[in-house]
Amino acid sequence: MRRKIIFCTLLIITIAFPIASATEWDSATFTLSMENPVVSKGDYTINVVEFDGYGMVALNVYCNGLFIGNTVLMNNDSNWFYMDNEKIRFKGINVTDQRILPMCGNVHSPQAEIMFATEKSSKDSRFMALSISTDKDEYLTDDQVITTMQIRNIGEVKVDDIHLNVDTDGLVDQVDLPSGFSLEDGTYRSEEIKLRFPATLHKGFYNISVNMSWTNAHGVQDFLTESDSISITQPIEIYKSITNEVSLGQTVYTSISVENIQSRPVRIRLDDVLPMFFTLIDGTVTDNKQDLNWNFILAPHERKVVSYQMIPEQVGAHRVPDAHVTWNLWGTNYTNSSDSDNVIAVYQGVSFLEKDFPEPSPTPDDVIVGNNENSPEILMSVTIRSAISTKVTPDKLDFGKLAPGDTSERSDITIKNYGSCKILVTANVAETGDLHKQGLGIDGNSLESFNVTVVKNIVKNPYVSLNVPEQMKEWEVKRGR
Q: pLDDT digit string (tens) for 228-244?
A: 999 888 888 999 999 98
The DSSP line for 333-377 is EEEEE-----EEEEEPPP-------PPPPPPTT------TTT---
Q: Are residues 169 and 86 in the same domain?
A: no
Q: Please tell me the predicted confidence (pLDDT) of residue 7.
A: 41
Lowest model confidence (mean pLDDT) among 103-107, 435-439, 463-467: 103-107
| Higher-scoring residue by pLDDT: 376, 151 | 151
Owning domain of residue 404: 390-466
Q: Are residues 192 and 245 in the same domain?
A: no
Tell me the C-alpha distance between 203 and 447, whole Å. Answer: 33
Is the CB of residue 44 less than 8 Å from the CB of residue 25?
Answer: no
Tell me the C-alpha distance between 129 and 138, whole Å. Answer: 26
Report angle CA 309, 312, 315 to the nearest 5 degrees. Answer: 150
Q: Please tell me the predicted confidence (pLDDT) of residue 290.
A: 92
Q: Are residues 209 and 280 in the same domain?
A: no
pLDDT exceeds cutoff 90 at 307? yes
Q: Which of 183, 217, 232 is the last residue of a domain?
A: 232
pLDDT exceeds cutoff 80 at 100? no
- In three-state form (DSSP H/G/I as H, E/B as E, the rest C), the secondary structure along 242-265 is ECCEEECCCCEEEEEEEEECCCCC
Q: Which of 314, 347, 380 is the last residue of a domain?
A: 347
Tell me the C-alpha distance between 7 and 243, whole Å. Answer: 38
In tens, the pLDDT along 173-229 reads 867 788 889 999 889 999 999 999 888 777 888 999 999 998 876 677 888 889 899
Q: Which of 284, 316, 347 is the last residue of a domain?
A: 347
> How much of the chain exceeds pLDDT 90, in percent?
27
Q: Please tell me the predicted confidence (pLDDT) of residue 87.
A: 87
Supply the pTM of this predicted model. Answer: 0.41
What CATH code is carried by the domain that includes residue 21?
2.60.98
Q: Please tell me the predicted confidence (pLDDT) of residue 201.
A: 76
Q: Please tell me the predicted confidence (pLDDT) of residue 123.
A: 46
> How much of the chain exceeds pLDDT 70, in percent?
78
Confidence of residue 413 (pLDDT cuts 50, 70, 90): confident
pLDDT exceeds cutoff 50 at 373? yes
What total number of domains does the chain contain?
4
Q: Are residues 434 and 454 in the same domain?
A: yes
Q: Is residue 361 part of a domain?
A: no
